[in-house]
Structure 1
Amino acid sequence: MKVAFFDRDGTIIEDYPDEKWTRITSPAFLPNSIQILKNIQQSGYEIIIITNQYLINEGFITLGQYEVITEKMINELTKHNIQIFDIFYCPHSRTEGCNCIKPKTGMIKEALVKYPSIKIEQSFIVGDSTVDVELALNMKMKGFGLGVGDAYQEKNIIQLHEIKDLINYI
């Protein structure tokens, strides 16, 4: 199984400063994110979301708030015939020392245990943060950095200026 591992906030839906998340009740989809998810799915990839949600344990949002936004996001994507295969999230604060917060590999390794048919060499990671690119490097996977600059010159890391550019590489 080929998997496109997508970050959530700043990649699929709008991201906000930590303190603003407290007031967010619905996801705002980024331009072209729905279409690119549809294109990726039509290209034979399963879509798995991997997202750091340190906001939960750092007290900016509750687990319930995270779940409401995620459910609304899934419902909207379903209306567009986009199937999210699974979601893995890390609720831990940045100082807890867990193994799942990106760029650590815990969420990807959990996905590999849960779905042993994942072909990691045919899969890739997409995100808008250096931790997403570093996760790709840590997993020795292809990675796409959305607006992360040209700091990563490794052959398996590709800089995207807009999410719609991803389709040129799939």
Structure 2
Amino acid sequence: MKLIILDRDGVINQDSDAYIKTVEEWIPIPGSIEAIARLSQAGWTVAVATNQSGIARGYYSLATLDAMHARLRERVAEEGGEVGLIVYCPHGPDEGCDCRKPKAGMLHTIARHYGVALPGLWFVGDSRSDLAAAVTVNAQPILVKTGKGTQTAVGTLPPGTLQFDDLAAVARALLNSNTAP
């Protein structure tokens, strides 16, 4: 199985320090939907692992989050692809859960669901917590320079971190070269 795991906000859709609270605020980054569809069409399973503390903070409901994810699936389907498992952490940063990145609980959930090992799998994110979660499970940390990615790229990154301009560039690399895991 060819599996890639993506963070959501800042990788697939625009991010906001004020949180993405409605389906209307969920705006795909140009090229991201098409990138997911191209990967899917090429036999990749695309899973998503996303921190969603806005739920714990009361900014939006689980129903709203589900509607955002339904919209993501719908948009990718319109391009001829599909999104696999979407897992999220609804907890706040101080709740001490095992799922909130930089912890790797969501990555383990995805691995169990698909029956795969995490070492070497590509995990694409835009933040230090995304990269740290990848490193924790020996996945390949991938930094995109969308969302918080440009800020994250400043300073020291985990050894072996690959950097791309955006998710479309990640898809091109996987589909057009031998960079794939």
Normalised TM-score (structure 1)? 0.88
Is contact 2:36–2:81 with CA below 8 Å preserved after alignment? yes
Q: Is 1:152 aligned to 2:151, yes or no?
A: no
In the aligned structure 2, how far is the partner of 1:124 from the partner of 1:46? 11
Larger mean Cα displacement after TM superposition, 97-106 or 129-138: 129-138
Give the superposition deviation at 1:162: 2.6
**Bigger mean CA deviation after superposition, 118-127 or 106-115:** 118-127
- Distance in 2 (alpha carbons) for counterparts of 1:91 and 1:153: 26
Give, as a single letter, the amino acid of the residue that structure 2 aligns with 1:17.
D
Equivalent-residue separation in structure 1 for 2:40 and 2:117 (angstroms) = 16
What code does the residue aligned with 1:83 have? E
Code of the aligned partner of 1:108 = L
Asked if residue 9 in structure 1 is aligned to residue 9 in structure 2, the reply is: yes
User: 2:133 pairs with 122, 132, 135, which one?
Assistant: 135
Contact 2:36 2:82 in 1 (8 A): no
Identity of aligned residues (%): 25
- The answer to whether the Cα contact below 8 Å between 2:50 and 2:87 also exists between their aligned partners in 1 is yes
Which residues in structure 2 correspond to 1:17-36 (within 5 Å)?
A: 17-18=17-18, 21-22=20-21, 24-26=22-24, 27-36=26-35
Equivalent residue letter for 1:10? G
Equivalent position of 2:57 in the other structure = 58
- CA-atom RMSD in angstroms: 1.7
Q: In the comparison of the two structures, how many residue pairs are matched?
A: 166
Asked if the contact 1:51/1:88 (under 8 Å) is kept, the reply is yes
Q: Which runs of 5+ in 1 are unaligned?
A: none
Per-residue CA deviation, residues 132-153 of structure 1 (Å, 9 max, x unaligned), is 1111111111121112305215
Q: Write the letter of the residue equivalent to 1:66.
A: L
Cα distance in structure 2, aligned partners of 1:75 and 1:42: 15
Q: Displacement of 1:119 after TM fit?
A: 4.1
Q: Secondary structure at the match of 2:94?
A: coil
Q: Is the 8 A contact 1:127 1:133 kept in 2?
A: yes
Q: CA deviation at 1:61?
A: 1.3
Deviation at 1:104, TM superposition (A): 0.4
Question: Higher helix share goes to which structure?
Answer: 1
CA contact 2:11–2:166 (8 Å) conserved in 1: no
| Alpha-carbon offset, residue 122 of structure 1 | 4.8
CA distance in 2, matches of 1:106, 1:83: 23
TM-score, normalised to structure 2, is 0.83
Return the alpha-carbon distance in structure 2 between the equivalents of residues 76 and 25 of structure 1.
12
Q: Distance in 1 between matches of 2:128 and 2:102?
A: 8
CA distance in 2 between counterparts of 1:105 and 1:30 reads 25
Query: 1:68-118: per-residue Cα shift (whole Å, max 9, x none)?
Result: 1111111111111111111111101111000000110101111222221x2
